[in-house]
Amino acid sequence: MKVFYRCHFSDRPFSPEFAYSLPWGSENGKCGVCKGTGTIEEPHRSTCHSCGGAGGEDCHCEEGTAIYYQEVPCRYCKGIGKAVPLRGYSCCRTPEGLSNYFFLRGGMHDSAPVVIFTGEEIGTGPDGEPLVIPALFPRPRWITWGEMQDILVRRGKEGKP
Ligand SMILES: [Zn+2]
Ligand SMILES: [Zn+2]
């Protein structure tokens, strides 16, 4: 059975019916992925504009093709710019993954609640993280961020991956 880890602050119960997540960075009703603009820049590979596809050593492209960015409608809010809840809880597959996720986003305080749970993975969130509907049984286990860090430190000392 797959196990997932999530920092869960919601005032609503942790349960399948309330399992929705807003994309990271969503605030004041604005979509966090496109910052409320409704569009995102997406890379696509195309014939190099500089050399017209000829390639060669004089051009910085890759054998005649280069990566360009184009504006496309944000696929999380469908281009409306509003923060649309995604079905499933945004979470990580390992405590290391959860720790890194928040480390990259400014860290987390020691008393923050962390829930360890099983469930059905139904999609992928904007940051590549799993979106999961939690199972009612076995019951989720709650620890604090500080306790999770202690576990990671202990694992590190024992030399386990
Ligand atoms: Zn958006
Ligand atoms: Zn080129």
CA of 66 to the centre of ligand 2 (A): 7
Determine the pLDDT at residue 159: 67
Q: Rounded mean pLDDT of 130-148?
A: 96
Q: Rounded mean pLDDT of 116-144?
A: 96
CA of 3 to the centre of ligand 1 (A): 29
Which ligand is closest to the CA of 62, given by its number? 2
Q: Rounded mean pLDDT of 52-66?
A: 92
Confidence of residue 161 (pLDDT cuts 50, 70, 90): low
pTM score of the predicted model: 0.80
Determine the pLDDT at residue 11: 80
Q: Rounded mean pLDDT of 115-122?
A: 97
Determine the pLDDT at residue 118: 98
Give the position of tokens 């400014």.
106
In the predicted structure, residue 98 carries a pLDDT above the cut 90 = yes
Count of positions (residues) in the chain: 161
Is the Cα dihedral 94, 99, 105, 110 positive or negative? Answer: positive
Q: Which residues surround ligand 1, an ion (CB under 5 A)?
A: 31, 33-34, 74, 76-77
Determine the pLDDT at residue 1: 80
CA of 25 to the centre of ligand 1 (A): 11
